[in-house]
Amino acid sequence: MANNEESRGLKSLFDWFANRRKTGSTSLERQEREIADGLWHKCSKCGVLAYAKDLRANQMVCVECGHHNRVDSDERIRQLIDLNTWRPLDEHLRPTDPLQFRDRKPYIDRLRETQEKTGLIEAVTTGLGEINGLPIALGVMDFRFIGASMGSVVGEKLTRMIEQATQRRYPVVIVCTSGGARMQEGMLSLMQMAKISAALQRHQDARLLYIPILTNPTTGGVTASFAMLGDIIIAEPKATIGFAGRRVIEQTIREKLPEDFQTAEDLLKHGFVDEIVPRTQLKNTLAQLISLHQPAPTPPHMVLWETMSLSSTAVE
């Protein structure tokens, strides 16, 4: 009889602990669900919970530790471009599968899934707009789309945008983030490095301004081409910027790299970056730089001289 009572007591004790764990897990799930609903955001660096609305008002920069959370291309455009001045370019361009590439799944299926998940057609959005009333051509890469890898459409859209800017005599700003060239497009992807660089050279020959903004992460073929060709190169704080990965470099040179290797601060120290600008100050900083580098108007006497020269040529 006593043994039966003890067993019932032991069983009820196990039930109590089981119910306790179940209740605890339920409350944890409820808490995680509330956070996931978008009301709160937990900083991945310092762990502080912030009201999502306040975090967005601070441009997704943690008010406690200054950590710059990753933002998508639409949010980046809202942060930089004046209201109702944005005009997107080449929205009709869509990626294809020229190599019929397949890894774990066909590339065409990967593209379709990513497009449905992100609502984007490709990894870059380009357009014309204004920053504090100053016209610019802006390209924004989005890491959600296959790691913002540089495919053929990314290269084509950026090249067309730069050519539009050269024709209109607008400065170019590209917000860079990427894992590098898109391996599913092979050599066609690598060709975009040269194509964009050539367009930027023509832009420079026209004595026009180009500013790349390096965000976290900017790596691979993007770093090896247009991300490092700017007249003024800006980076966000703590951004990872490099070509090959840290592990690959350490295995190649057989040395341990410093902890701050390939950070924006390390690149600034070695002269690869001109300035590190917090996101909350980025728009005003760009406006100041663009206003200082506006194309100088042609002096009246030069206009008169050119007119006389053309007239004399026509007479001859």
| Single-letter amino acid code for the residue at 198 | A
CA 140, CA 156: separation in Å to the nearest integer? Answer: 14
Q: What digits encode the pLDDT tens for the residues 253-307? A: 999 999 899 999 999 999 999 999 999 999 999 999 999 998 766 566 555 555 5
The half-sphere exposure of 43 on its side-chain side, counting CA atoms within 13 A, is 19
Q: Which residues, including other chains, have CB under 8 Å from residue 149's CB and lie 6 or more apart?
A: 123, 178, 179, 180, 181, 182, 183, 189, 220
Residue 167: pLDDT above 90? yes
Phi, psi values for residue 35, rounded to 5°? -65, -40
* Contact (Cβ atoms closer than 8 angstroms) between residue 189 and residue 150: yes
The DSSP call for residue 130 is E
Residue 315: pLDDT above 50? no
The CA angle 147-279-268, to the nearest 5 degrees, is 80
Q: Which residues, including other chains, have CB under 8 Å from residue 169's CB and lie 6 or more apart?
A: 206, 208, 295
Residue 231: pLDDT above 90? yes
Q: What digits encode the pLDDT tens for the residues 200-216? A: 999 999 999 999 999 99
Which of 18-32, 64-78, 98-112 is predicted least confidently? Answer: 18-32
Secondary-structure percent of the chain, ordered helix, strand, coil, rounded to 5: 50, 15, 35
In this prediction, what percent of the chain has a pLDDT beyond 70? Answer: 81
